[in-house]
Amino acid sequence: MKINLISIGNSKGIRIPSSIIKQCGLGNELEMRVENGVIMLAPVRSLREGWSAAFEKMAAAGDDAPLVPDVLQNDFDAEGWTW
């Protein structure tokens, strides 16, 4: 699909057809970056989007054991406090 750049003040812009907006799930904000001379537009995603589903999947698979124990023991704790 070819589209034209339109003037917006001192800048240029594009009109994105509503069918493309719906197909891509775009909201009012977009992420824009340039990769190898190509402008990439993407919907803004939450930093932790999908984490809840991933954690539920881990729990169902039994893969959610803590990596670090709740209480860490060390020599300092065994020796006690001295002033």
**Rounded to whole angstroms, what are the CA distances from 28 to 9, 21, 22?**
20, 10, 12
**Residue 75 belongs to what H/E stretch?**
helix 75-79
Instruction: Give the pLDDT of residue 8.
Output: 94
pTM (2 decimals)? 0.51
According to the model, what pLDDT value does residue 16 have?
Answer: 93
Q: Is 54 helix (H, G, I), strand (E, B) or coil?
A: helix
d(CA 35, CA 40): 7
Task: Decide if pLDDT at 39 tops 90.
Answer: yes
Q: Which residue stretches of 16-65 are H helix?
A: 18-24, 51-61
Average pLDDT estimate for 66-79: 77
Position 80 scores a pLDDT of 65
